[in-house]
A and B are shown apart, each in its own frame.
Chain A
């Protein structure tokens, strides 16, 4: 089954303890992206990747890192999490970077992160 898989689904951690949220897609998609969803703010893009070894900042990249060493994986790294990074995170992928055409975004089921 074609899907975007995020792990874990739920994560509670403490301020400053490094964590990684994994994202994997099995559709051979070139484009991958991370979003955070907060009440009243909708979805905001954190980072995106057009292809292997190509990453770029979205609208809210501060405090996050990403890597794209393989086409299928796009982990989100929080080196020193803070409470303001408590949020619902979504990974998404698209066949091509041009989601305007016949390559819509496919989303994972989300990771709910709480930083205390």
Chain B
């Protein structure tokens, strides 16, 4: 069985400051890792994903996440946040068994303060 732990339910950050949203997973097999973002009153959108290859993956809006197998982590980072980054962020893990095997974390609410 796989599981995802997002250690912080809320993360308040000042605008233009760096941020890290933490995600740890557990799985008995190889995993594929995802970050989804949910803006207010919207559905979730895929932000970035790790399938294989380079352990550092990037999104088009400046976020990056690093897959760390030894620490079973997939933390999301951004060096300088903007007000528009205010959203709920969900980490998800799949063991490759298909979308039915996708497990979501409980989410982290990123709050950007001016």
A interface vs B, CB < 8 Å?
Answer: 4, 31, 33, 40-45, 48, 50, 56, 58, 90, 92, 94, 97-101, 103-105, 107-110
Least distance between B103 CB and chain A CB atoms (Å) = 9
Q: Please, how many angstroms separate the alpha-carbon atoms of A31 and B25 in the complex?
A: 25
A-B CB contact pairs (8 Å), 8 listed = A31-B99, A33-B100, A42-B107, A92-B43, A97-B98, A98-B96, A100-B98, A104-B46
Interchain Cβ contacts within 8 Å, total number? 68
B84 to chain A, nearest CB (A): 18
Name the A residues within 8 Å of B100 (CB-CB).
33, 45, 48, 50, 56, 58, 97
User: Which residue of the partner chain, among B36, B42, B45, B51, contacts A101 with CB atoms under 8 Å?
Assistant: B51
Interface of B is mostly: mixed
A58 — which chain B residues lie within 8 A by C-beta?
100
Shortest 4 CB-CB distances between A and B: which pairs? A107-B43, A99-B99, A42-B106, A97-B98
B49 A110 Cβ-Cβ under 8 A: no
Given A4-B43, A43-B90, A107-B45, A48–B106 Cβ distance below 8 Å? Answer: no
How many angstroms between the C-alpha atoms of A105 and B32 in the bound complex?
A: 14
Interface residues of B in 7-29 (CB under 8 A from A): 9
**B residues apposed to A, CB below 8 Å:** 9, 32, 34, 36, 41-46, 49, 51, 90, 94, 96-100, 102, 104-107
Task: Report whether A105 and B107 are in contact in the complex, using a CB–CB cutoff of 8 Å.
Answer: no
B101 to chain A, nearest CB (A): 8
Chain B residues near A108 (CB, 8 Å)? 43
Residue of B nearest to A91 (CB): B43
Residues in A whose Cβ lies below 8 Å from that of B49:
104
List 5 additional A-B contacts (Cβ < 8 Å) besides A90-B43, A100-B96, A100-B97. A44-B104, A45-B100, A50-B98, A98-B99, A99-B102
Q: Which of A100, A103, A105, A108 has the most CB of B within 10 A?
A: A100
Given contacts A41-B106, A42-B106, A42-B107, contact A98 B98 (CB under 8 A): yes
Residues of B within 8 A of A94 (CB): 99
Per the bound structure, the CA–CA distance linking A90 and B44 in Å amounts to 9
